[in-house]
Amino acid sequence: METMPTNNPTIATCIAKWRLTSSTSLKQSLSMALGGLLLLGMGCAGAETVFVTLEKDNALAVLDPLAGKLLTTVPVGQRPRGIAISPDNKVLYVATSDDNTIKMLDASTFKELGRLPSGDDPETFALSPKGDLLYASNEDDSLVTVIDIAKKQVVKQIKVGVEPEGISVSPDNQWLASASETTNMVHWIDTKTQTITDNTLVDPRPRAVQFTPDSQQLWVTSEMAGTLMILDVKTKQIIKSLTFEAAGVTADKMQPVGIAIDKDRRYGYVALGPANRVAVVNAQTFVVEKMLLVGSRVWNLAFSPDQKRLYTTNGVSNDVSIIDLDSQTVTHSVGVGTYPWGVAVKP
């Protein structure tokens, strides 16, 4: 580590970024960057790390998004799909569907810390805002399993519709929303009583559900109807439903899946699956302002910690697209491995 090569692109990008964001001298920033590098084992201070589950490679891809580089690929278990990072950024949770468990990994060393009793075939899950509970969708059993992370125990199983998939907790921790793909409903689960209080019928095959950061709205995508529905949390009703269009793409190719909404609710981003595009939706007017061409069968989305970039997993082209959100352009595409599925970001 003493003889650091000066042409390392990771370090170069890191230094460039550092210079842009601070007034410290190059020498100082270099030493800080190196210090950070030694501490973290990879990347550098100020740079984030992107984790992508590779469904067919049974592995986790680790990326330096600023350098646009794949750093390493770590074996993680059978058919990894859903992924999330703890609020303190120390623990990665990975649903290894064919191992029927959710694995806890150290977010720096990738050592396995433990396994959570997720029930059969876990695919997607959500963490409570404090990070103490994990809610997993059990697609084959029509259940949502509530897990106490510290105790590694199932607290409750809640019966929902057929093939629950998308799941999200409101940032104010009032509601857990679970969407069932074949029942075509959003189930509203009161987080205090852990029971369903309301059901909203939505368009066919709902995939992702995402609360706005102010907890006022729930955004829901329908893969089959090709719609994005905005639900009002108070009334549980659909207040707006919108479709997507792009030249040369037929309506049935527009299959919305993953959603990301920025912290000020200025823009929401919707992955459109086999349409190979991410829609930029004005989150105040609900007008689709732009369509960004990304890789094939774009699946899930995640923001950088400063929300200046968006990372997409592209299931068929086996890469991650990096979108610069200031200019709303796709800047990089990084090959990661076979069937990239979920994505999480560590600052």
Partner 1 sequence: MAKSLNLKEKSVFLKALFHTLCFFLAFIFTTASAENNQVIDIAYLTQEKTPPPQLSNLDVFIKNKGIFGAQLAISDNNTTGQFTHQQFRLKAFTVPVDGKVDEVFATQIAGKYSYLITVLPADAVLNIADTAAGKELLLFDAQTTDDALRNGQCRANVLHILPSRSMRADALAQYMMKKRWDKWFLVVGTSAADRLFADALKRAAKRFNRELVAEKTWEHTFDARRTAQSDVAVFSQIDDDYDVLVVADEQGEFGEYLDYRTWSPRPIIGSQGLVATAWHPTHDQWGATQLQNRFLEQAGRAMAEEDYGAYIAVRAIGEAATRTHSAQLPALKNYMLGERFALQGYKGNPLSFRAWDGQLRQPILLAAARSMVAVAPIEGFLHQKTELDTLGFDQPESQCHWNQ
Strand 49-54 and strand 59-64: the pairing is antiparallel
Phi then psi for 153, rounded to 5 degrees? -130, 150
> Which CB sits closer to partner 1, 119 or 337?
119
Nearest distance, CB of residue 236 and partner 1, angstroms = 13
Nearest distance, CB of residue 52 and partner 1, angstroms = 20
> Which CB sits closer to partner 1, 71 or 154?
154
Nearest distance, CB of residue 222 and partner 1, angstroms = 8
> Which CB sits closer to partner 1, 17 or 297?
297
> Which CB sits closer to partner 1, 276 or 304?
276
Binding site for partner 1 (CB under 8 A): 117, 119, 139-142, 154, 157, 159, 161-163, 181-185, 187, 199, 201, 203-205, 223-225, 250-252, 255, 274
Nearest distance, CB of residue 159 and partner 1, angstroms = 6
Give the C-alpha distances (Å, rounded to integers) separating 268 from 224, 241, 287: 20, 14, 10
Nearest distance, CB of residue 201 and partner 1, angstroms = 7
Tokens of 101: 């468990």
DSSP 244-307: --BTTB-GGG-----EEE-TTSSEEEEE-BTT-EEEEEETTT--EEEEEE-SSSEEEEEE-TTS
Helix (H, G, I), strand (E, B) or coil at 29: helix
> Which CB sits closer to partner 1, 57 or 223?
223
Sequence letter at residue 257: V
